[in-house]
Chains A and B, each alone.
Chain A
């Protein structure tokens, strides 16, 4: 063994060591991709998450329905005048997750609130039309949402999510 392979005097063998090591590391890292990515939603789950259409005609004012999209409950509520007013009255800056009611509904469709019915704290299903703000109440750790689905009280950090949706016609929406 000579001292020729010391750090300040690189040899071809050192180069080969490093190169082999690097290539092997890349291979190792690449193997992780399929191993981890298999855990993400599979093709059938993704396909089942395709957009759904919901007819709004049967939902009377003051009523709400629950539909499932991507395995998640979606609340569609037909808000009353009073509920809309309540939501618009609050100064946005006073909210823990500031968002105006206008930002959370589609223009011209103020009466329709469409939110993912999953508490943003730890994922329970809040109960509609309950709680101090006439909106949603999560029984798990006491988060209270208002008539716009915005967090008002309790540990949840953000407002109820608004799923992607569009109005196909005045009485029909497409979620997804």
Chain B
């Protein structure tokens, strides 16, 4: 995008177009002939990864919008039905949801890279500021997208974040009402968030074009931090950078695919599998992991307005970086002090991320204040000071010299790369883990599940027995409104035939109508019907259950989680252990105690349960030995019932799990092959550049 191109098409048709719209010349000079510094390391591929991720998010987002319903009453269900009914809907949703996390993961590396190598310094200030704008837009987009599924975290996240604006003096309340379009977060809020969530990515794409334009005017920075001087310092973008970026993207895809196929809920909050409820706040509201450091800053300031100002300030301050750091040497490679402080700053950011997920009490508040101070001190005190007092090491004369020195030298960058990757991984995982921590409940014992692990399959027998237990026991209070009778005959399900599913459905009475006489009537269920709820509405359910509302069970295994603690969550990540919900449900069903322990004050009308948060549950012990008859010879015990019904509920929560794992394996085989091929191709291409 810099200057006129020397691109000369030979094909007459292309020539004709080129004279009228020189787009091929533009492309050629931007992405083919464009000179790239020879010494770029892999930190630079994150730019390409980000462009790729933006494309992925827009593509999957546009498709998901074709199936999503932006209405407060239907949003939650429509997301669940995308996952259940739309062909490959589960895949698209997983890509889009984990994709948001991947996008932020990549952008943080991209930003830290810029920070370390001084990519914000003259003449790249505008490039940097455009980057900060993109980051802000990403944050807004990510936040609004998180609201759309209209789960508990969506709703309360939206409430808490929009309420930040109530800190504005005098106009606060009116601004918040304006943002909501009502007197509380509600349908108008959801509608406008959907509209903006759809719009903003295109704005981001526009700013990205400016970002790349500015990049191509100033030229790329590089690890040595010296400008290219001669031909020898650069290589043409294609094939060199193209191949390297493609290899980088391919490696990144391997990482991404792990989440999509094997840990799709690892980065999300289980609370969001509970439909939004304006009357109850979750015990612990946490934003997505990528906002945690800023959330920690918000909370460590005891004053509401000052907290909000500090939080926004923490982001805006990045835009002033080019002027806060006036050091002449660009790359921290040659700045011994700056380098050390950079890593300390990384640790501060990760520390803030960790604190953002902790309850704001006791020691966490104090550490939070210290880290908040250090965060701002880095920009406002340290960087200006360092520029004055630090004695940088001599920088190489040219990029070519840098490359020569490196090929002869020790492989030091590798070590820092590995450390940095581990730290970054820790940030991602640490944030995720603590974000799903639930307090105040005893940790139930981990079970062995046939459906866990990379090739896990449901145990059909257990599912069929579980369905029986559900129907004879649980169904008298709990609904299963996201599961249709036809689902019973689907692959991956309990292994029913279509006729069996139909017969099963017809045993239910379903309310239908009005008929020609204008009356409601009851008819036998059909395969297309959903499992009915035993109560006509929430009030009736509460009246029949001593004020408690029995939750719908189709997502319950996904909505339950408890703190796994360090280092368990790391092990969970590699072993794909996601079965916290089913563990919780079995434990709950088996956890009844006739007598509460001494000193426990059991409220009237409650029962003691070891695993229920607070230990006082309104539901009487639902299962007793011998209550349901099994005809396959399995023991008719509470433990067996609990295990079976949990099998069934796990399937009800994610009917396409087996398809996900199967496709995941195929994708991995393909990606590994592609990555290996790309690696050798890249090596071959670069061989003549060294």
Contact = CB atoms under 8 A, between A and B. Distances in A.
A152 to B, nearest CB: 15
A123 B285 CA distance: 11
B360 A122 contact: no
A45 B304 contact: no
Interface string A52-86: 00000000000000101011110000000000000
A71 B160 contact: no
B182 A41 contact: yes
Give the top 10 A-B pairs by smallest Cβ distance, nearest first.
Answer: A71-B184, A70-B183, A123-B163, A124-B281, A122-B160, A122-B163, A123-B159, A125-B281, A45-B182, A41-B182
Contacts of B302: 155
Given A73-B278, A124-B156, A39 B285 contact: no
B283 A66 contact: no
Contacts of A23: none
Contact of A125 (B179, B182, B188, B279): B279
Interface residues of B, number: 33
Given A141-B360, A142-B361, A71 B281 contact: no
A131 interface: no
B177 A40 contact: yes
Contacts of B335: none
Interface in B285-311: 285, 299, 302-304, 307
A106 interface: no
Contacts of B307: 155
A26 interface: no
Most buried by A among B162, B163, B307: B163
Contacts of A40: 177-178, 181
B285 A124 contact: yes
A41 B184 contact: no
B159 A122 contact: yes
A36 B178 CA distance: 8
Interface residues of A, number: 26
Contacts of A157: 303-304
A63 to B, nearest CB: 12
A140 B164 CA distance: 14
Contacts of A41: 177, 180-183, 188
B181 A123 contact: no
B182 A71 contact: yes
A70 B184 contact: yes
Contact of A140 (B160, B181, B192): B160
B304 A49 contact: no
B184 A140 contact: no
Given A39-B178, A39-B192, A124-B160, A139 B281 contact: yes
B284 interface: yes
Contacts of B280: 125
Contacts of A124: 156, 159-160, 281, 285
B384 interface: no
Given A125-B281, A140-B281, 4 more contacts: A41-B181, A41-B182, A41-B188, A122-B160
A108 B178 CA distance: 37
B164 A71 contact: no
Contacts of B156: 124
B186 interface: yes
Contacts of A123: 159-160, 162-163, 166
A123 B278 CA distance: 11
7 contacts: A45-B186, A72-B184, A73-B278, A125-B281, A140-B284, A142-B359, A142-B360
